[in-house]
Amino acid sequence: MNSEITKKFLKIIVLILLISYGLDKLVFYSLNKISDKVMTGQAIGKLNHFLSIKDSAEVLVFGNSRANRHIDVKLFNNNSYNMGIDGIGIAYNSTLINTLSKTKKQLVLVHIDTKNLFDADYDGSDIRGLKAKYNRNLTITKALDESGQLSVLQKFYYSISYNGNAIGILKNYFKPSYDYIAYDGYDPITVSNDQKSMRDAFLSNYRDQVECKENHKINEIALGYLKSIAIFVKKNPNKRFIFITSPIFNDDCSVDNKILADKMLDLGLNYKDFSNLYKNNSDNSLWKDATHMSQKGAESFSKLLLEKYAHLLF
């Protein structure tokens, strides 16, 4: 390669780096501006909504889709929010819990899924769901840096923070999915007549399935995040924390539940396992599928939660 070609090559590379860097910042800051105004949609809107009300809400619920679908938070207090999000795990929740104000008195309900905690493959990658707030929220940035879940390229190309979400943000910016002011984060599942027969057939097969692996071990990464929540709980006497596992259709394996209950006790966390709450109830209308309850099941469960924990409300 002669010197002229070398110069040409370097010129192209330098130009690409400079232009792409500039373009990236333009896209990133534009998306920041837009996304800050988005309050609907699971990816960004719900997170923005949560960050805007987290220090004023009286009751907060954290967890995955089961928390989102199972806990009617309005029953506890009108000023409350269910921050359950589909497909996320304890890394995401732990980070958000750590963003809560120290002074505000709140009841915090954390949904813990045994499946998530005992999953040997769990790597904490659900924390990437918060990457839109990287470099924009101190607690979240610190947690993302410590997680090692971010691409090394993110330090150079900030717009990676919006990977997979850009279209959703634009859509919710121009056409919000719902009225967020009236939204409390709880998304019950209604089961249509068509779905009922499919559900019944599915549940009848599911009844016989027993899955109980030997040598249950809590995933170390998940445990690390659980400990981080436990530290936050100890440092924040202004808040009351309840940790629960909501009902599941057929949990014949109690080994993991027992290990988890012992671990929660060790960590000094107030935990109650409701996995088998409806085990002896043959009413399929309580369920949408084997993992999620229907609106009917969720409302019945939420009432039970309220009866049990009403005394903890501030």
Is the CB of residue 102 less than 8 Å from the CB of residue 135?
no
Nearest to 126 by CA among 33, 22, 39, 43: 43
Give yes or no for residue 27 binding another protein (CB under 8 A).
yes
Measured CA to CA in angstroms, residue 239 lies from 74, 147, 291 at distances of 18, 26, 29
Is the CB of residue 66 less than 8 Å from the CB of residue 292?
yes
**Which tokens hold the place of 178?**
């719902």
Rule CB under 8 A: choose which of 12, 212, 304, 310 binds another protein. Answer: 12
Contacts made by residues 150-158, CB under 8 angstroms, sequence distance 24+: 156/21, 156/24, 157/20, 157/21, 157/24, 158/24, 158/25, 158/28, 158/134
Only one of the segments 23-31, 47-55, 203-211, 297-305 lies at the binding site for another protein (rule: CB under 8 A); that segment is 23-31
Only one of the segments 4-12, 50-58, 74-82, 269-277 lies at the binding site for another protein (rule: CB under 8 A); that segment is 4-12
Q: Which of residues 179-198 bind another protein (CB under 8 A)?
A: 198
Minimum distance between the CB of residue 41 and another protein, rounded to whole angstroms? 8
Minimum distance between the CB of residue 23 and another protein, rounded to whole angstroms? 5
Rule CB under 8 A: choose which of 157, 183, 206, 274 binds another protein. Answer: 157
Give yes or no for residue 210 binding another protein (CB under 8 A).
no
Give yes or no for residue 3 binding another protein (CB under 8 A).
no
Nearest to 295 by CA among 193, 206, 187: 187
Rounded to the nearest angstrom, the gap between the alpha carbon of residue 148 and the centroid of all alpha carbons in its chain is: 19
Our CB check for another protein shows the closer of 73 and 132 to be 132
Give yes or no for residue 85 binding another protein (CB under 8 A).
no
Strand partners, 106: 239
Rule CB under 8 A: choose which of 104, 171, 216, 296 binds another protein. Answer: 171
Give yes or no for residue 19 binding another protein (CB under 8 A).
yes
Rule CB under 8 A: choose which of 162, 225, 249, 271 binds another protein. Answer: 162
Angstrom distance (rounded) from CA 42 to CA 263: 31
Angstrom distance (rounded) from CA 277 to CA 250: 10
Only one of the segments 151-159, 242-250, 254-262, 278-286 lies at the binding site for another protein (rule: CB under 8 A); that segment is 151-159
Please state the φ and ψ torsions of residue 185, each to the nearest 5 degrees.
90, -10
Give yes or no for residue 153 binding another protein (CB under 8 A).
yes
Rule CB under 8 A: choose which of 30, 33, 167, 258 binds another protein. Answer: 167
Minimum distance between the CB of residue 6 and another protein, rounded to whole angstroms? 8
Angstrom distance (rounded) from CA 250 to CA 279: 7
Summarize as ranges the residues that interact with another protein (CB under 8 A): 1, 5-6, 8-9, 11-12, 15-16, 19-20, 23-24, 27, 43, 151-153, 157, 159-160, 162-168, 171, 198
